[in-house]
Amino acid sequence: MKIFIDTANLDRIREVNSWGILDGVTTNPTLVAKENTNFEALVKEICHIVDGPISAEVMSVKAPDMVAEARKLAKLHHNVVIKVPMTEEGVKATKVLASEDIKVNMTLVFSAAQALLAAKAGARYISPFVGRLDDVGQDGMKLIAEIMNILDNYDMDAEVIVASVRDPIHVVEAARLGAHIATVPYDVLKKMFAHPLTDIGIKRFQDDWAKVPKK
Ligand code: E4P
């Protein structure tokens, strides 16, 4: 499974990229706003740090405007992927962009029906928001299983990016379901390393090694 980081923060992207396990980056308007800097310059800098798909979201609401905005963003770097919201206008825009070989990550997906339409429109990536579904009492990972089954039935090219990840369990469940990608917040990535028994084990090995004669 590919792991993307879900942030627009350059320091955190650099840190996680140094681990050697990072395959891409997803941003969204909320994450970009936190960085309080020029959007296009930020996207270009992220592309220079991570050699993988970098998602940047269009804010227009009508298809022709989405397409125009997307074409401009796509010119920033060959790794830029255009995030388009799951709407009728978004599907129309995705159809055009896919025909121009501009990769689309269809975002704000909350149902299998939406995912099916996104795949039919030619989205390269589909982003179901599992955490937000859990937040309202629905089963986000159940949706991932549904979508993976649909894509397998028809051998559809779209890759599923499990998004709105809230904890390491979401990441593990995504992998167990065979999702292509999980986009993971920095804090959740850090939590994936942590286990008290690992810490206890390292301490014990260090203490016992100190007793080994060194000459
Ligand atoms: C993908 O990049 C999504 O925009 C992101 O995972 C949403 O996460 P949130 O539901 O915590 O805002």
Choosing from 135, 164, 167 the residue with most ligand 1 atoms within 8 A of its CB, the one to mutate for a pocket test is 164
| In the chain, where the domains are located | 2-210
Asked if residues 145 and 153 have their Cβ atoms less than 8 Å apart, the reply is no
Does the reported pTM lie above 0.75? yes
Q: Which residues, judged by CB distance below 6 Å to any ligand atom, belong to the binding site of ligand 1?
A: 6, 26, 28, 107, 127, 129, 131-132, 163-164, 183
CATH: 1.10.4080.10, 3.20.20.70, 1.25.40.10, 2.40.10.10. Which one for 2-210? 3.20.20.70
Q: What string of pLDDT tens digits covers the 215 residues of the chain?
A: 999 999 999 999 999 999 999 999 999 999 999 999 999 999 999 999 999 999 999 999 999 999 999 999 999 999 999 999 999 999 999 999 999 999 999 999 999 999 999 999 999 999 999 999 999 999 999 999 999 999 999 988 899 999 999 999 999 999 999 999 999 999 999 999 999 999 999 999 999 999 999 98
Question: What per-residue confidence (pLDDT) applies to 53?
Answer: 98
Q: How far apart are CA 61 and CA 83, in angstroms?
A: 12
Q: Among this protein's residues, is 120 annotated catalytic?
A: no
Question: Using an 8 Å Cβ cutoff, are 22 and 16 in contact?
Answer: yes
What DSSP assignment string belongs to 100-161?
A: TT--EEEEEE-SHHHHHHHHHHT-SEEEEBHHHHHHTTS-HHHHHHHHHHHHHHTT--PEEE
